[in-house]
Homo-oligomer: A and B are copies of this chain.
Amino acid sequence: MRAQIMEREQNQVSSEAWQLAESSFEIDQNAVRETLFALGNGYIGLRGTHEERFDGFEASSIEGTFINGFYESSPLRYPETAYGLAKEHQFMLNVPNAKCINFSIEGEEFDLFTGEIVSYERSLDFRTGVLIRKLEWKSPAGRRLSVTSRRLVPFRRKNIFAIEYEVKLLNCSGTITLASVLDDGAKEVEEEGKPRYGAAVASVGGVTFDLLGIEQMENFSALIHRTRNSRLVLVSAIENDLVSPSGNSVKKETISTDQRYGQIYRARLEENGSICLTKFGAYFTSRDYPESELIGLAKKALKEARQVGFDALCAEQKEFLSEFWHYADNEIRGDDALNQGVHFNQFHLLQSVGRDGHTSIAAKGLTGEGYGGHYFWDAETYALPFYLYTRPEIARRMLEYRYSILDKARTRAREMSHSKGALYAWRTIAGEECSAYFPGGTAQYHINADIAYAVKQYHEATLDEEFMTKYGAEIVLETARIWIGIGSYIPKKNNQFCINEVTGPDEYTAMVNNNFYTNAMAQMHLKFAADIAAKMKKSQPTEFERLKTAIGLTDDEPKEWVKAALAMYLPYDQELGIHPQDDTFLYKKVWNLAENPRKSHDLPLHYHYLVIYRHQVCKQADVVLADFLLGDHFSAEDKKRDYDYYEAITTHDSSLSHCTFSVMASEIGYYDKAYQYFMKTARGDLDNLHKNTSYGVHVASMAGTWMAVVCGFGGMRAYQGKLQFAPYLPEKWEQYAFRIYFQSKLVLIEVDKNEVRYRLLEGDALQFSHYGTPIQLTKAAPVHVAKAVANKKAVAR
C-alpha cells in the first residue's frame, strides 16, 4: 500500500471522491493525464489533450479523437497462409482533431512551454461531466492573461462536442489573434511491430483517409473523408461562435491552409477585457447515415447545439449524469482515494460504451488505439454486467450490436466448416474475424457461449421479452448450433459430448480438448437455447415459426441440444478434487512462477508460445471464471480447491484476471486476497499501475472494480433469475454502498460495521436472499440485518 500512496502523491491527482483534478501542468505526466481526462459519450472520444499546439517531447502527448465503430481495414498478410485465416484487420481511426484553438497576443503565441504558468488547475467532475481548465500565464514579454476553458461531450447528443474558451488580459491591452480550426494533419498510421499494442497492426501503414471535399461558410468548416479500404465516409465539422469583446469589433478570416480549416479572429482587448469563443464539433459517418446526408446532418446538429448554448448543454449533461449515478453509484466510506477510483472507473465505463445498437465497448474504450479498438468477449463478460445491473438499456444496446453482426458470424461459421449456425469473431469491429493468431483467437469458441450467457443474464434481469423475440432468441439459437457442429460424442469418453481443439479464456494454453470453461458454458448455452425454443413455441408460436423458417431450424435440433447438454463432458479430477482446465492440463509440468518473477510478466514477450503452452501456467482465470459465472453448478468445496490450485499458477498477465480472483476470493472467504486483488483494479489507471495508461484506460479492469465490489464484497449473484447477496465489509472500510437495478426495481445496499441495510428505491417489492435467507423488500420497509463481518471464515452462501 505504501508504494501506491507514494505514487498517488507523486501524481498529484487530488483524491476527492467525485472528481479528478490536477493543480499543475506536468510534462512527464501529460500523456497519462490525457487518458485520464479523456471525455467521451460512447460515440465520440476525445483524449484530454490541450486545445493549443503542444511542443512537448515525443510521446509526451498522444493526440486522439475516436469515433466508436468507425474503422479502416487492411488485408492481413501471413508469411504462411492457409484456408480460413482471418482476412482483414479492422482498426479504429484517429479522426481529424476538431479541438484545436490557438491564440497570440500582440504576436506572442500562447504556449504552455514558453513564458510562465502562474497558476494552473484542471478538473473533471464525474457528476457534471465537464472538463475545466483554468490557468494564468505570463508571456515572455511580461503580458499576463488568464485562459479558462470548459469542454464536454454530451451524452444526450451522440454526434457533437463543445468547448468554451475564454481569454482575459490581466495587465495589458493589445490585439488578440485567435484561431479555431479543424486539424487534418497526422492522419497517417505508423507501422508498428510491437506485440502488445494493436496486435495485427504490423501490416498497416501509410495513408488511411482520402480527402473528398472541404466545405466552409460563415463560421462553419467541414472536411469530408473516405477511408481507403473500408470505404466509409466521415464528415468532421466545427462551428465557431465568438462573443465579441465589449465595444470592440472583431475581424474574422477563414483559413484553409496547412491542413487546418476554420476561423481566425482578430480583436483589440483592453486591460481586463476578455474574449470568449464557443466551439462546437461534430462527426457523422456513413456507418450511420447515407453519405449524401452527412454534411446536412452535421450542420443541423451544430446549429442546434449553438442554439441550445454551452450552459444548457452543461445542464443536460448534469441531468443525464445525475440519473446515471442514481442507478450506478458505488460508494466507499473511509477511503476517499478508493472512492474516487470507483467513481472514476464507473464514469469511464459510461463514457466508453456504445449505446446506438451497432457499437459496443472496446478494450481501451475511446481513449486509445490499443487492440485496434476491437470488441472482444470482455464486452459481454466483464463490462456488460455493470450496465445490466445499473442501466440495462445500455446492456440491451450492446447485445443489439451483436445481433447487427449476426450475419457476419453466420458467414464465419461457414468458413469454419459449420453448415449451420453462427460463430462470432474473437475480435472485430464490423463483425469479420480480425484475429491474426488463431490459436489465441478463432480457437476461442467460448465467445459464442459468453454472448449467450449475457443474453440470458439480460433476460433474467429485465424480463425484456420484446428483446428476446426480436433479437435474443435468434442470437442464442444460431450460436448454440455451433456446439453441435464442433462437438461430438466420443466413444472413448463413454460417449460423453466433447468439444475438441479449442482455446479457453486462459491464453497461456491453446488448442486443447474439453476446456472446462468452454464445455460448462456450452452446456449452459445449449440448455438455454432449448429452453428458449420450448418457451417460444408455446407462448409465441407465430414468431417461433417465423424464426425457425428464417434460420432453417428443424424440430430435431432443440432435442439435440438437450441431449448434448445432458451428455456434456465436464473434466473433473477425483484425486485433486478440482476441475482440470482441459483434458491434458494436469499432465503438463508446473511453471515455477517464483523462479523467474521478472520475466513472468507477460510471458509471450519472453518465451515462445510452445514453451508457455507446455506448462501449467495461466494468464488469467479460466476454471475460476466458470466457477464464478456458473457458481450454482459447483460445490463450495470444488470452487475452493479450484481457486487454490489455479491461483498458484496464475500470472494475472491479463487485466481480466484480478477482478475474477477478487470475486471468488470473497466467495471463498479469502478476504485479504479479495481486497488485494480489488486494489489492483480500483485505481489501476488513476495510479498508472500497468505503466501504459498513456495508451488508454483498461476497460475490463474498470468493470472489474464494480464486479469486485458488487459480486465480491456484496456477494451479489443472479443465478437463474434469482437475486442474492452475501455482503461483508472489508476491514479497512467504514462503510460501502452499491445499487442494483433488477427487474425494474432499484435496491440500495449499504454495509457498515454493524449491519447491512437494504432499501428499495424504485419498484414496489423485491425478493432476494441474504446469505441464503429469503427477504421480501418493500419500498416502505427497509431491511436491516446485523452484522456481516469481514474476517469470518468461508461462509456457505
Contact of A78 among B78, B604, B606 (CB under 8 A): B78
Q: Are B511 and A510 in contact (CB under 8 A)?
A: yes
A676 contacts B by Cβ under 8 Å: no
Give A468-527 interface residues, CB cut-off 8 Å to B: 486, 488, 490, 492-493, 498, 500-502, 510-511, 513
Given contacts A82-B437, A439-B439, A500-B589, contact A608 B510 (CB under 8 A): no
Report if A774 contacts B (CB, 8 A). no
Closest CB of chain B to A491's CB: distance in Å? 9
- Least CB distance from A589 to B in Å reads 4
What's the minimum C-beta distance from A89 to chain B, rounded to whole angstroms? 7
Segment at the B interface, from A144-152, A192-200, A400-408: A192-200
Q: How far is the CA of A22 from the CA of B490 in the complex (A)?
A: 55
In contact, B490 and A587 (Cβ under 8 angstroms): yes
Q: Are A77 and B80 in contact (CB under 8 A)?
A: no
Stretch from A133-141, A609-617, A642-650, A722-730 at the B interface: A609-617
Residues A438 and B609 in contact in the complex (CB < 8 Å), given A511-B510, A584-B584, A588-B513: yes
Q: Mark A398-421, 1 if CB is under 8 A from B, else 0.
A: 000000000000000001110000
Are B77 and A202 in contact (CB-based, < 8 A)?
yes
Partner of A417, one of B202, B498, B611: B611
Q: Mark A506-550, 1 if CB is under 8 A from B, else 0.
A: 000011010000000000000000000000000000000000000
Asked whether A588 lies within 8 Å of B437 as measured between CB atoms, the reply is no
Instruction: Check: A10 CB closer than 8 A to any chain B CB.
Output: no
Q: Do A79 and B613 have beta carbons less than 8 Å apart? A: no
| A583 partner residues in chain B, CB cutoff 8 A | 584, 587
For A415, give its contact among B78, B586, B589, B608 (CB under 8 Å). Answer: B608
A54 at the interface (CB under 8 A from B): no
Q: How far is the CA of A212 from the CA of B604 in the complex (A)?
A: 42
A228-271, CB < 8 A from B: none
Q: Does A436 contact B (CB under 8 A)?
A: yes
Tell me whether B436 and A78 are in contact (CB under 8 A). Answer: yes
A443 at the B interface (CB under 8 A): yes
From the candidates B83, B492, B511, name the one contacting A511 in the complex (CB within 8 A): B511
Q: Which residues of B sit under 8 angstroms from A76, Cβ to Cβ? A: 79
Report chain B residues within 8 Å CB of A604: 82-83
Q: Tell me if A118 is interfacial: C-beta within 8 Å of chain B.
A: no
Q: Which residue of B lies closest to A513 (CB)?
A: B584
A 430-462 binary contact with B (CB < 8 Å = 1; else 0): 000001111100110000000000000000000
Closest to A586 in B: B492
Are A607 and B79 neighbours in the complex by a CB distance under 8 Å?
no
Q: What 1/0 flags go to A120-138 for Cβ under 8 Å of B?
A: 0000000000000000000
- A493 with B587: CB separation less than 8 A: yes
Cβ B82 vs Cβ A79 within 8 A: no
Do residues A80 and B442 form an inter-chain contact, with CB atoms below 8 A? no
Contacts A511-B610, A587-B500 hold; do A79 and B493 have CB atoms under 8 A apart? no
Cβ-based interface call for A605 (8 A): yes
Decide: A438 and B610 in contact? CB cutoff 8 A. yes
How far apart are the CA atoms of A583 and B492 in the complex, in Å? Answer: 12
Smallest Cβ-Cβ distance to A434: which chain B residue: B79
A610 touches B195 (CB 8 A): no
CB distance from A574 to the nearest CB of B (A): 12
Contact B610 A442 (CB under 8 A): yes
Count this chain's copies in the assembly. Answer: 2
User: Separation in Å of the A69 CB from the closest CB of chain B?
Assistant: 22
Which chain A residues numbered 672 to 714 have a C-beta less than 8 Å away from chain B? none
**B residues near A614, Cβ cutoff 8 Å:** 486, 500-501
**CA separation between A589 and B513, bound complex, in Å?**
11
* Most chain B CB neighbours (cut-off 10 Å) among A486, A498, A511, A586: A511
| Interface contact A195-B588, CB-CB below 8 Å | no
Q: Which residue of B lies closest to A193 (CB)?
A: B81
| A179-199 at interface with B (beta carbon < 8 Å) | 193, 195, 199
Per-residue CB contact flags for chain A residues 580-598 toward chain B (1 = under 8 Å, else 0) read 0001101111000000000
**Given the complex, which residues of B lie within 8 Å of A513, measured CB to CB?**
584, 587-588
Q: How far is the CA of A501 from the CA of B607 in the complex (A)?
A: 14
Q: Is the CB of B608 within 8 A of A442?
A: yes
Q: Which residues of B contact A511 (CB under 8 A)?
A: 439, 510-511, 610, 613
The chain B residue sitting closest to A599, CB to CB, is: B417
Partner of A607, one of B83, B442, B490, B605: B83
> Does A272 belong to the interface (CB within 8 Å)?
no
A203 within 8 A of B: yes
Give per-residue flags for A78-116: 1 if the beta carbon is below 8 A from chain B beta carbons, else 0: 111111110001000000000000000000000000000
Query: Would you call A202 and B80 a contact (CB within 8 A)?
Result: yes
Residue of A583, A587, A588 with most chain B CB atoms under a 10 A cut-off: A587
Tell me, in angstroms, the Cα distance from A442 to B613 when the chains sit together: 13
Distance in Å from the Cβ of A400 to the closest Cβ of chain B?
Answer: 29
Which B residues lie within 8 Å of A492 (CB)? Answer: 586-587
Tell me which of B77, B83, B486, B611 contacts A79 (CB under 8 A): B77
In A540-568, which residues have CB < 8 Å from any B CB? Answer: none
Contact B589 A83 (CB under 8 A): no
Complex-state Cα separation, A203 to B606, whole angstroms: 25
CA A89 to CA B436, docked complex, whole Å? 19
Task: Enumerate chain B residues within 8 angstroms of A84, measured Cβ to Cβ.
Answer: 607-611
Contact B442 A77 (CB under 8 A): no
* Chain B residue contacts of A498, Cβ below 8 A: 587
Decide yes or no: A613 and B78 within 8 Å by CB, A83-B605, A587-B493 being known contacts: no
Select from chain B the residue with minimum beta-carbon distance to A437.
B80
Chain A to chain B: the 5 pairs with minimum beta-carbon distance, closest first = A84-B608, A79-B436, A501-B614, A80-B436, A80-B437
A82-B195, A501-B614 known; 11 new pairs, CB 8 Å cut-off, are A78-B78, A78-B202, A83-B606, A84-B609, A416-B608, A417-B607, A438-B608, A438-B610, A439-B511, A500-B614, A584-B584
23 contacts between A and B (CB under 8 A): A77-B79, A77-B203, A78-B437, A79-B89, A79-B437, A80-B200, A81-B202, A82-B195, A84-B607, A415-B608, A417-B607, A417-B608, A417-B611, A439-B511, A486-B614, A488-B589, A490-B587, A490-B589, A492-B587, A501-B613, A511-B511, A513-B587, A583-B584
